[in-house]
Structure 1
Amino acid sequence: MTIHLIKLCVGAESVEDLQSWIDERMAVRRRDGRPIEQIHTTRMFPKRVSEILDGGSLYWVIKGLVLVRQPIADLRPVKGEDGISRCEIVLEPVLTRTAPQPRRPFQGWRYLTPKDAPRDIGLVGVDDGMPEDMRRALGELGLI
């Protein structure tokens, strides 16, 4: 059974902000001749690896709302220069908007069951003409 992860997207003001951060990182990796993959490093390594790698995504909370998800391609254990074990979450650099879902702040990541995950509403970059503030307001009202 598939399970997802959910995490705060600290520093991002919007989905577009996250997309530009990803685009910049991918450009740097291309320029440096490194593999073209997006990696997010976190302290704790999930125990439910097989369920996550069975179609799981990382759902990002931006400014108090789940707004977007990214498919998880791999989970890699790594050791930092400080000797502390960490987890590299390898993400597909494709963002899919979700119906806005309010979330309170939390530390680290959490598991998210498919039944609790917000539904997809479309790929980022496909312009539906709706301003981000309107999308947030409608999501907070439960209308999208």
Structure 2
Amino acid sequence: MTDFIHMQKLSVGSESVESLIDWQQNRSKQRIDGRYYHQTRMWPKRVDEILAGGSIYWVIAGVMQARQRIISFEPMIGADGISRCAIMLDDEIVRTEAVLRRPFQGWRYLKPEDAPRDLPKGRDAEAGIPPSLSAALAEIGVR
């Protein structure tokens, strides 16, 4: 049994891991002390478990294919005056095996045993197979 839990979240507007990286590093203004954060309405109830080693797993175009380690959770007030949660993220985006995910709202918890494995270092630079094909193979049990 593990002592931590992950989160999974749709990366709305991202078409690929590269577009997620571009958004966070070059286009987003969502920064606190130079670090990117993802803003959400709801505050997780399992903060201690997440901070014990959890990551946010990004679902891009219906396929879970990358993760970022969660550094902290910070309170903030949105432009509408409503209290929000800033999920502070590590700068490194790690590519994972592709796993299909149906659309969902908000975020969901993800048990470590259900999380896809990280791809080997340098694999993201290889041509490889498209994430959608990798996900289709995973769906039928071929990885």
Q: Secondary structure at the match of 2:125?
A: coil
Counterpart of 1:58, as a letter, is: I
Counterpart of 2:85, as a letter, is: C
| Matching residue within 126, 135, 138 for 1:139 | 135
State the identity as a percent: 47
| Matching residue within 15, 21, 24 for 2:23 | 21
Query: How far off is 1:124 after superposition?
Result: 7.4
1:93-118 Cα shifts (integer Å, max 9, x gaps):
11111111111101001111101111
TM-score norm. by structure 1 comes to: 0.86
Distance of 1:109 and 1:29 partners within structure 2: 18
Which residue of structure 2 aligns with residue 128 of structure 1?
126
Distance of 1:59 and 1:79 partners within structure 2: 25
Query: How far off is 1:77 after superposition?
Result: 1.7
Distance of 2:14 and 2:8 partners within structure 1: 15
Distance of 2:66 and 2:42 partners within structure 1: 22
Q: Could you tell me whether the CA contact under 8 Å between 1:3 and 1:51 is conserved in 2? A: yes
| Matching residue within 62, 76, 79 for 2:77 | 79
Q: Could you tell me whether the CA contact under 8 Å between 1:96 and 1:122 is conserved in 2? A: no
Count of residue pairs the alignment pairs up = 138
Counterpart of 2:36, as a letter, is: Q
Distance of 1:60 and 1:124 partners within structure 2: 19
Q: Structure 1 99/126 Cα, relative in aligned 2: closer, same or farther at 3 Å?
A: closer
Q: CA RMSD in A?
A: 2.2
Q: For 1:99-118, what aligned pairs fall within 5 Å after superposition?
A: 99-118=97-116
Counterpart of 2:55, as a letter, is: S
Query: How far off is 1:85 after superposition?
Result: 1.4
**Unaligned 5+ runs, structure 2:** none
Q: Secondary structure at the match of 1:47?
A: coil
Q: Could you tell me whether the CA contact under 8 Å between 1:95 and 1:123 is conserved in 2? A: no
Distance of 2:116 and 2:105 partners within structure 1: 20
Query: How far off is 1:63 after superposition?
Result: 0.5
| Matching residue within 54, 62, 65 for 2:60 | 62
Name segments (4+ residues, structure 1) moved above 3 Å.
122-126
Query: How far off is 1:81 after superposition?
Result: 3.6
TM-score norm. by structure 2 comes to: 0.86
Q: Could you tell me whether the CA contact under 8 Å between 1:29 and 1:35 is conserved in 2? A: no
